Structure 1
């Protein structure tokens, strides 16, 4: 039996035990469904991995412990936001903590902290202890992220955006940019997907630029607030029983180092 199968079997056993001893208050929710819309974001939420990804599996278990059934739908990001606006779904997983998201949703407690890091070729030495060290260096980021604005706020303006991180990697190898910025998880998954002939030695530059928390967003209604509170209770149980760490290990999810330049809330 492989390590993954052993881990899955242990998780199932834990879930069954916890379901038996679930609070009586959760029993009244039995068989109620929570509609959750997600986007493709490996390894967090995806149609390509078992259990729909790490955060989907954690959310499913947390709700199950509260007597609720998670029903997942995966769509593009714009469609997911529209579904929330139109009341076609109960929740969106995951979203970053931000002032805008706090205004338009009921946000759960953090489901994961994510580090954003700079990555350079090992052969290219770049002195770095603070973001200000990077003024004058060319940085590649991905479109539809907040990185370009974050860097501009720090006085860093040599930033080039592309549609996908693989394009930044190829620009990095070709010497057209000096480093790239993305979540460490995204960068590691991208590197793992490369054929051997395209792999070059790289360095993740410490400390991370920032750490941001991911959350489940619930509709801005009284039902949404109630579901958010129920979900938070389920998450507390998932964490306290060790299921949270077991699921992240199962999906090989990178943890935050907790040493970022800035903690973004």
Structure 2
């Protein structure tokens, strides 16, 4: 822990800090149409969640911090603030130290805001109109916090426009900048402990108290990939749902077989994406399905295979010697168990190779998720011209599976299911689908 004199502001600023974080949000909403809308929307969402999640707010000590991280931090440029606090020391730190400091400073900001939402008592505030810089990309909003039986507190908020979005980066209380105060504190710590130790001490004090879940998954574009925004649609949904439920997710990418082994060993808490089967259900806890996968047949256009129902497909392929390309150890379901004896199964690791082999006649047909298949075909136009996507053959729900080695596996699943339902109801789930251009939207 840092010495109190090094980690706290002056007594006057301490008394107002719990007001400032909330008032920062409130005052910005009156600044101008640009910054106003961004922050007003965030404040509205925060207020609504404090009401709807009242039970979690009262029973989970970290939950308000989680809400701040999810809803308010997007309108605060904590990275820029962190750089301003480090100032000349920024260039002296390694990349690892920069990351450590930014993470710690982020939690310092989160904790400040969370304390504000717990302490705000509805003090009266009077605001002046926003004053913009000559370039129009920075703004100041002056305000007065009027307290009963106490002097007025003058606060000026600083904002800047970053790539079209207004973000806050400082508040000046009675002429004292919060960023400067934090910088002065940290410089004192550097003088006493040295730069590296000062960063370590800050990181030790300001770290997330949100429970961490370790999740793993294999690359499966466009659902899961470390090359995609937010690591793909599936990871994005699962992470956001667990965030809503009050958990922090750490994602690792690894082959499917290793995902299974790591869960069995207890080093991984859950798998990001699984189709249900009874064997897995004995070993893991399934959540509700957060997506539905339509599995389709990919065939060559010259192939006369046709069907409109699963029963027709089963009848057509019987005794025709079809070679069916599939992924090994996938939970395709009961219907797949019926058709598997009627074909020769060819196992693959990669969708692109599966599609190429259908085109070059190394295999006859492939069973793939529709969106996955379409994504691969869009990236291989020369091959796609020779192939055809058939109607949906199998539908499978996509679930998170949680290791039953965790004694709280059922509680985790229930929290996920509840948060998923809430997100579907308030529209935030649908927004994620749209962001990833999911074809069902």
Question: Could you say whether these structures have the same fold, taking a TM-score greater than 0.5 normalized by the shorter chain as the test?
Answer: yes
Flag the 1:112–1:138 CA change in 2: closer, same or farther, 3 A. Answer: same
Local SS of the residue matching 1:212 = strand
What is the correspondence of 1:203-222 to structure 2 with a 5 Å cutoff?
A: 203-206=388-391, 208-220=392-404, 221-222=406-407
- Give the equivalent residue in structure 1 for 2:438: 253
CA offset at residue 253 of structure 1? 2.9
Greater helix proportion:
2
2: CA distance, partners of 1:15 / 1:35: 28
What is the correspondence of 1:18-57 to structure 2 with a 5 Å cutoff?
A: 19-27=49-57, 28=60, 29-30=62-63, 31-57=210-236
Structure 1 stretch displaced more, 37-46 or 105-114: 37-46
- Pick 1 or 2: higher relative contact order, CA cutoff 8 A, min separation 6: 1
Q: How many residues align?
A: 244
2: CA distance, partners of 1:47 / 1:124: 36
Flag the 1:17–1:252 CA change in 2: closer, same or farther, 3 A. Answer: farther
Aligned-CA RMSD value? 2.9
Is 1:109 paired with 2:288? yes
Is 1:187 paired with 2:378? no
1: CA distance, partners of 2:236 / 2:348: 31
What is the correspondence of 1:91-240 to structure 2 with a 5 Å cutoff?
A: 91-129=270-308, 130=312, 131-135=314-318, 136=320, 138-145=322-329, 153-154=338-339, 156-194=342-380, 196-206=381-391, 208-220=392-404, 221-240=406-425
CA offset at residue 177 of structure 1? 4.2
Unaligned runs of 5+ in 2: 1-37, 64-209
Moved over 6 A (4+): none
TM-score (norm 2): 0.50
CA contact (8 A) 2:286 2:400 kept: yes
1: CA distance, partners of 2:402 / 2:218: 15
1: CA distance, partners of 2:345 / 2:262: 33
1: CA distance, partners of 2:363 / 2:262: 38
Structure 1 stretch displaced more, 244-253 or 175-184: 175-184
Task: State which structure, 1 or 2, has the greater radius of gyration over its C-alpha atoms.
Answer: 2
